[in-house]
Amino acid sequence: MNKLSIKNVLAFIAVVFIVIVFAFPIYFTIVTSLSSRAFISQGSIIPDMHLGNWVDLFTLPRWYNAIRNSIIIAAGCVAVGLLLSIPAAYVFSRIKFGGDRHFFFWLLTNRMAPPVVLSIPYLIMFKTFGIWDTHYGAVLAYMVFNIPIAIWLLASFIVTIPREIDYAAFLDGYSLWTYFRKILLPALRPGIAVTAFFIWMYSWNEMFLASVITSANAKTLTAELLTTVGRLGWGIEYGVAAAGAVVTLIPGLILLYWARRYLIKGFTFGRL
């Protein structure tokens, strides 16, 4: 037991060290968001519990509108993404078709295309069709990475539902709609939840496209952070920007707590 406890102490120290290294920048951002300007300019690592930054974040229109827009767009992406992807994932996982490997590869390249490459055509296309700087435009643009992730994730859940259930249902005279409503969707509930969360995360975190295809009405929180940082002399806004950054972290924290065992799936393939 003695030998073990020395090992345990070492392990404990290692863990404490790792937690400090990985958590400190997050802690420091929270500290900055809770500090007055005088404290921030000293680089203090203890806050003076100044709530002005948070009050600003929720009372200045450009900040609370940005938070609202981020929520609307991410929620819209979840709704539209699931609506489009559940049927597609069903087909993708049930029916073998020629060239499905190539199709999958195309999905992959959509996910991997650098946002800067897409931003130029989006800017022109969206302005032409009058959806630039609207929530619709942002949701549409985000489908370029959300649909591939959603199809991939959902399909990997659907293949675990035995095909025999499909056959039985259709033999019993279920229409496609009844089959979806009574069998597939209830069985797919965990998959839908996980997919919804990942769509939310990727849409909520996206910044580059948002900064190009939105400007005032539909500007997201991440794009607003970029604008703030890009402004000359933004040092005076460190506090409120830090508060905004802290808000952007919330979905990630919830996801870590809620979906730990699905993380690997969503990340490795979601990133593709």
- Of 91 and 185, the one with the shorter C-beta distance to other proteins is 91
The CA distance from 11 to 143, in Å, is 44
Which amino acid would we find at residue 235? G
Q: Smallest gap, in angstroms, from Cβ of residue 98 to other proteins?
A: 12
Q: Smallest gap, in angstroms, from Cβ of residue 124 to other proteins?
A: 6
- Of 49 and 232, the one with the shorter C-beta distance to other proteins is 232
Buried b (16+ CB within 10 A) or exposed e, 85-103: bbeebbebbeeeeeeeeee
Q: Smallest gap, in angstroms, from Cβ of residue 263 to other proteins?
A: 6
Q: Which of residues 186-245 bind other proteins (CB under 8 A)?
A: 201, 204-208, 212, 222, 225-226, 229-230, 238, 241-242, 245
183 lies in the binding site for other proteins (CB under 8 A): no
93 lies in the binding site for other proteins (CB under 8 A): yes
Cα separations in angstroms, 55 against 61, 64, 224, 243 = 11, 10, 17, 10
Q: Is 38 exposed, middle or buried (0-12, 13-18, 19+ CB in 10 A)?
A: exposed
Interface residue with other proteins among 5, 38, 43, 130 (CB under 8 A) is 43
- Of 78 and 141, the one with the shorter C-beta distance to other proteins is 141
Q: Which stretch binds other proteins (CB under 8 A): 9-17, 53-61, 71-79, 187-195?
A: 9-17
Interface residue with other proteins among 72, 88, 183, 187 (CB under 8 A) is 88
101 lies in the binding site for other proteins (CB under 8 A): yes
Q: In the chain, which residue ranges form alpha helices assigned H by DSSP?
A: 2-33, 37-42, 52-59, 61-94, 100-112, 115-128, 135-158, 163-171, 176-179, 185-187, 189-205, 208-213, 221-230, 238-258, 263-270
Among candidate residues 241, 94, 83, 250, the one with its CA nearest the CA of residue 158: 94
122 lies in the binding site for other proteins (CB under 8 A): yes
Let me know: does 34 contact 19? Beta carbons within 8 Å: no
- Of 51 and 83, the one with the shorter C-beta distance to other proteins is 83
Q: Which of residues 68-87 bind other proteins (CB under 8 A)?
A: 83-85, 87
Q: Which of residues 137-176 bind other proteins (CB under 8 A)?
A: 140-141, 143-144, 147-148, 151, 155-156, 159, 166, 170, 176
